[in-house]
């Protein structure tokens, strides 16, 4: 059987009990022949070529259009017959530099006029865009009000009725009261603005977490119609779990719910700096998934012919590629993609070498432009091959299909994805990628609707706090949180150091502290799990205080400790903080 991916220059002996899970193209001729595109020579990386129809036999009726989660029309998934027109691949264009953006529209403002004629893409969901924008603006406005309100309160600290005035301002503009011990000491010393700022950030985070679980603003909680529909679709594509590792950069925190438009409950998300996930930990999560299939038949029985799909999502900048790309890779797009693919291959090889009975996983490499949210998809072939020099650019596919009807656009999109595959296309992977691309068209329109010049004004970092630990299922907004996924500070030091470096520029340079939310989820059904999670958080807090002793001693770093029962749909619970208030004592 031919190898599933290109041979490495280093020969490694694979375990004889780990055969490839899927057949080679030659062995799978029957199901694939109907999807095989006309052979063509792949373009050079970065070359620009408009999509062209290679052949145009008799037209086959387009697939029916079905309702998409959250509204909008997405044609029903169905393989494109061989008789359908097959466009040539749409390669990526060279990075572009665009002029500086103007201000972001405030919450409740009307969408900006589209920069192109004809309105939204036929596969876009304008109503969903409006709902997502309202949620994003509401949450970020709550964090961004903190500094102006504290500036206003600072100007009042020498008034005779300072405490009452300060609380009135806070309740009216922030929605909560401020801690009295800080306000009561203002007449003796200057108002402790650093502690007050951190306290407000933590209070706002707690309110955001509570609202997420209580109101389900994304409409994607476990058991929701959107979640059930996507889970069924994923299984129909031949995958029983979607495990995505985006970069920990806050500009990708919205990747699942916004850029890919996927129900968060259907996706296992583990952000890491540079999207460089831990192979051993990921193998352990694969084992748990397969064990659940074997013991519980969840999400499907172990004998079902489906695969675990691991995805890496790296990022780049079209406006300033040399400075605003991935910091973990020195803003080198090629290095980010190559390292992501290497980590994926290492994970696949670890599974195949360690387990028998055809154990394997499927891989998908994605990129995203943090200025426009347009996807870059390295479409793999049926044999698992992924090419770094060949990808689909969502912006170009968007342009190639924007003037068609929804049904025609879907057919054209499927054909383009098939043609872009690194080898003979996999029908299930084609269906999934076509859906991801169609979803991303909505996000491209979202950026064009609500941000001037078709890109984000905040091209760089603008996170509001650092999230450390394991969890944060409720964070799905761009530039809200920098993630540092870890069990211990020692193993996650590189990720955390990057986050602290970012906040030295964002906050410390202005005299404001670095707000860190430590989070560990636990299984409430396991005796003592909550107490162990709390102790875990306390150890991480102590390690953070020690590692960044200079910042902590100056009041320029504060932490909030939280835990959450992941067996229930409940908000995070605050269990400690570096902010403490002395209690009144006696003799």
Q: Report the alpha-carbon distance of residue 167 to residue 204 in Å, rounded.
A: 16
Is 249 annotated as catalytic?
yes
3-state DSSP call for residue 3? coil
What H or E segment, with its residue span, contains residue 410? Answer: helix 406-420
3-state SS of 258-298 is: HHCCCCHHHEEECCEHHHCCCHHHHHHHHHHHHHHHHHHCC
Coil, helix or strand at residue 310: strand
**For every residue of 496-526, which 3-state class applies, written as one string?**
HHHHHHHHHHHCHHHCCCEEEEEEEEECCCC
Beta-strand runs (E) in 375-424: 375-378, 392-393
Q: By C-alpha distance, which of 179, 188, 181 is closest to 157?
A: 188
Q: Please name the helix (run of DSSP H) or strand (run of DSSP E) that holds residue 212, with its range, or none.
A: helix 193-215
**Among 119, 125, 76, residue whose Cα is nearest residue 407:** 76
Q: How far is residue 393's CA from residue 73's CA, in Å, rounded to a whole number?
A: 22
Marked catalytic residue, from 231, 249, 369, 565: 249
Could you give the 3-state DSSP secondary structure of residue 577?
strand
Helix (H, G, I), strand (E, B) or coil at 108: coil
How many CA atoms are closer than 13 Å to the CA of 525, on its beta-carbon side?
A: 3
Q: 151: closest CA among 512, 520, 582, 432?
A: 512
**565 phi and psi angles, rounded to 5 deg:** -80, 105
Three-class SS state of 548:
coil
Q: What are phi and psi of 172, to 5 degrees?
A: -75, -35
CA distances to 20, 128, 446 from 441, rounded to whole Å, are 34, 12, 8
Q: Could you tell me which of 247, 219, 313, 259 has the C-alpha nearest to residue 456?
A: 259
The span from the first CA to the last CA of the chain, in angstroms, equals 83
Give the residue from 157, 161, 160, 104 showing the smallest Cα distance to 133. 104
Residue of 552, 540, 529 lying closest to 492 (CA atoms): 540
Task: State the Cα torsion 436-439-441-444 to the nearest 10°.
Answer: -100
* N residues, the chain: 587
* Residues designated catalytic: 249
């Amino acid at each position: 059987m031919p190898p599933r991916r290109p041979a490495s220059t280093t020969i490694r002996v694979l375990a004889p009990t780990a055969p490839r899970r899927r057949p080679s193209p030659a062995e799978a001729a029957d199901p694939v022949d109907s999807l095989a595109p006309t052979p063509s020579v792949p373009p050079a990386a970065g070359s620009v070529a408009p999509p062209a129809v290679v052949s145009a036999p008799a037209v086959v009726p387009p697939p029916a259009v079905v309702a998409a989660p959250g509204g909008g029309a997405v044609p029903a998934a169905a393989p494109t017959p061989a008789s359908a027109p097959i466009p040539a691949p749409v390669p990526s264009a060279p990075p572009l530099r665009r002029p500086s953006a103007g201000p972001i529209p405030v919450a409740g403002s009307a969408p900006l006029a589209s920069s192109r004629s004809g309105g939204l893409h036929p596969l876009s969901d304008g109503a969903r865009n409006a709902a997502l924008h309202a949620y994003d603006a509401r949450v970020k406005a709550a964090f961004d009000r903190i500094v102006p309100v504290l500036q206003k309160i600072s100007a009042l600290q020498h008034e005779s009725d300072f405490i009452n005035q300060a609380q009135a301002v806070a309740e009216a503009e922030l929605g909560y009261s401020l801690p009295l011990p800080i306000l009561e000491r203002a007449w003796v010393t200057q108002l402790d603005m650093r502690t007050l700022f951190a306290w407000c950030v933590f209070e706002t985070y707690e309110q955001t977490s509570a609202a997420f679980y209580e109101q389900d603003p994304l409409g994607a909680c476990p058991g929701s119609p959107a979640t059930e529909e996507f889970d069924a679709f994923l299984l129909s594509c031949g995958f029983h779990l979607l495990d995505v590792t985006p970069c920990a950069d806050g500009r990708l925190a919205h990747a699942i719910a916004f850029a890919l438009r996927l129900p968060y409950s259907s996706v296992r998300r583990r952000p890491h700096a540079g999207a460089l996930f831990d192979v051993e930990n990921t193998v352990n999560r694969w084992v748990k998934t397969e064990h659940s299939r074997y013991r519980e038949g969840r999400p499907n029985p172990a004998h079902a012919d489906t695969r675990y799909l691991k995805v890496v999502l790296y990022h780049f900048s079209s406006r300033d590629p040399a400075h605003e790309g991935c910091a973990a890779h020195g803003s080198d797009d090629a290095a980010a993609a190559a390292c992501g693919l290497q980590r994926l291959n290492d994970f696949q090889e670890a599974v195949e070498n360690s387990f028998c009975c055809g154990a394997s996983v499927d891989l998908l490499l994605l990129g995203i432009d943090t200025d426009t949210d347009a996807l870059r998809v390295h479409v793999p072939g049926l044999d698992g091959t992924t090419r770094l020099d060949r990808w689909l650019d969502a912006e170009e596919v968007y342009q190639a299909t924007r003037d068609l009807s929804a049904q025609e656009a879907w057919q054209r999109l499927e054909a383009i994805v098939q043609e872009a595959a690194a080898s003979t296309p996999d029908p299930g992977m084609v269906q999934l990628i076509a859906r991801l691309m169609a979803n991303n068209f909505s996000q491209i329109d979202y950026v064009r609707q609500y941000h001037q010049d078709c890109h984000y004004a905040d091209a760089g970092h603008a996170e509001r706090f650092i999230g450390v630990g394991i969890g944060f299922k409720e964070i799905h907004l761009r530039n809200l949180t920098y993630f540092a996924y870890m069990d211990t500070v020692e193993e996650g030091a590189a990720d955390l150091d990057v986050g602290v470096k970012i906040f030295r520029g964002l906050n410390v340079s202005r005299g404001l502290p670095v707000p860190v939310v430590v989070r560990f989820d636990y299984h409430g059904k396991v005796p003592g799990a909550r107490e162990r999670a709390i102790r875990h958080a306390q150890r991480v807090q102590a390690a953070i205080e020690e590692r960044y002793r200079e910042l902590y001693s100056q009041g320029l770093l504060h932490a909030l400790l939280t835990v959450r029962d992941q067996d229930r749909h409940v908000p995070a619970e605050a269990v400690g903080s570096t902010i403490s208030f002395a209690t009144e004592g006696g003799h």
